[in-house]
A and B are shown apart, each in its own frame.
Chain A
């Protein structure tokens, strides 16, 4: 079974620029998560989708971050405008149904804002 695909693998941008990340979950997985992992910390949940609906976005900085999963499959996470403190690894994960059967993570996108 193919894993969770993410792109790009690395991204360097200047502050105030915008950036987008893409995630393709495991086929058939209804639940998709975006996490932010700052160096030296555990992952922090930004947003959770169930199919194409948002289940939890309580920790998403909505003034600059947005995410969508229009057809209930692929998802994109956007930051506009980026700040220095957004430098982190952005991890996408998917699960069959709300994490009941575990979670599979992608390799992540390492974002550096300079």
Chain B
């Protein structure tokens, strides 16, 4: 069965600190996608990244970086030099490969508070 675990329920940091949000997943598929979404207080889900299972290269986008390690089934997300605007709930999700129809399996989210 597919599952996404975000062990950190809440994290609180001070502005300019680096912070890493953990994501561990379970799947029997060999082809799958992993996602990170940001949900600010306004409620919308903002797409951050999609990574397919065949691409283990780490990715950096500005202050955001992602570390995908298939050996440990992890897809961790790091924010460097955090800012107050980074305060949000962050969700990790796994897209399974149920035939030709993919479903998103969500973690419970990590609530990040960046304090000035």
Contact = CB atoms under 8 A, between A and B. Distances in A.
Interface string A96-114: 0011101111111010000
Interface stretch (A11-19, A20-28, A41-49, A68-76): A41-49
A42 B50 contact: no
Contact of A102 (B50, B91, B101): B50
Nearest to A50: B101
B102 A99 contact: yes
B115 to A, nearest CB: 21
Contacts of B42: 107
Contacts of B84: none
Contacts of B47: 102-105
A89 interface: yes
Nearest to B37: A105
Contacts of A89: 43
Interface in A61-103: 89, 91, 93, 98-100, 102-103
Interface in B82-96: 91, 93, 95
A56 B91 CA distance: 22
18 contacts: A41-B108, A42-B93, A42-B108, A43-B91, A43-B106, A45-B103, A48-B101, A55-B101, A56-B103, A91-B45, A98-B100, A98-B101, A98-B102, A102-B50, A107-B42, A107-B44, A108-B44, A110-B43
Given A48-B103, A107-B43, 18 more contacts: A43-B91, A43-B104, A45-B104, A56-B101, A98-B100, A99-B101, A99-B102, A99-B103, A100-B102, A102-B50, A103-B47, A103-B104, A104-B47, A105-B45, A106-B44, A107-B42, A107-B44, A110-B43
